[in-house]
Amino acid sequence: MNLPLWQVDAFADRPFTGNPAAVVVVPAWPDEAWMQAVAAENALSETAFLMREPEGWRVRWFTPRVEVDLCCHATLAAAWVVLNRLEPGGGAVVFASKSGPLAVTRDGVRLVLDFPVNRARPTVFPDGIESAVGAPVREVLATSGHFVCVVDSADVVARLQPDMAAVARLSRPALIVTAAGDGRVDFVSRFFAPRKGVPEDPVTGSAHCVLTPLWAKRLGKTTLVARQLSARGGTLFVEAHGERVRIGGSVVPYLEGVLAAHP
């Protein structure tokens, strides 16, 4: 059986920007090693696998190296596929996942994710953090899976050239570097996870589950515009809503086809 496959650019306003993700629809869950091999072959930061269940759709996400518990941009991509190709005309979809139910709704030309907050807490400076980042660090916070480094300006974030080997040695698998915006947006960031096979992720929705409550508190506002300053770049429209974060963005399709490598 040939499996349907799409590749789309999430958090993009035109082709070849935002964060590309693959979406594969399967009739039953294949062996995990096969899904991991497909994700490695796709060589994208994430491949989402969708399966229809009696209650709705279930989603799983794989980087080229590992399965992850949560991925925003690939969920946005999966929602675009459901609402535009599999169930066209729908206004919302709720995915079952390892992180619980994840709702995505239409809002004009955007899709809006509803994700759980992931709060970062102040922590001591890890050894070698400034060498890993490649710039002076004003403050370090942490979640169970991230170090969050606050630097002086958006320009510093844009010009970063981290030491990827040093980033991979940090005790958290992912590094977020962030700063207040330059007037055009409220805050900016970049995201690095070489240990997960993603040296730099172009646009990272899950990072904004961390950054949105942080910057909402510091800027005194709940609705913000964020920009991830990777080479591809992407804009996210975010809202802090209690223990949830709403993350909106546009999706641009790139290709549609079939996966001929059978599980």
Q: Supply the residues annotated as catalytic.
A: 46
Residues near 112 by beta carbon (within 8 Å), at least 6 away in sequence: 104, 105, 106, 237, 246, 247, 248
| Structural contact between residues 178 and 204, judged by C-beta atoms closer than 8 angstroms | no
Q: Torsions phi, psi of 45, nearest 5?
A: -60, -30
Residue 75, helix vs strand vs coil: helix
CA–CA separation, 75 vs 64, rounded Å? 16
Per-residue tokens: 54 = 């009696």
CA–CA separation, 179 vs 9, rounded Å? 25
CA–CA separation, 160 vs 149, rounded Å? 12
CA–CA separation, 240 vs 12, rounded Å? 21
CA–CA separation, 11 vs 147, rounded Å? 23
Burial of 176 (0-12, 13-18, 19+ CB in 10 A): buried
CA–CA separation, 44 vs 14, rounded Å? 18
Residue 248: strand pairing partners: 112, 237
CA–CA separation, 213 vs 109, rounded Å? 25
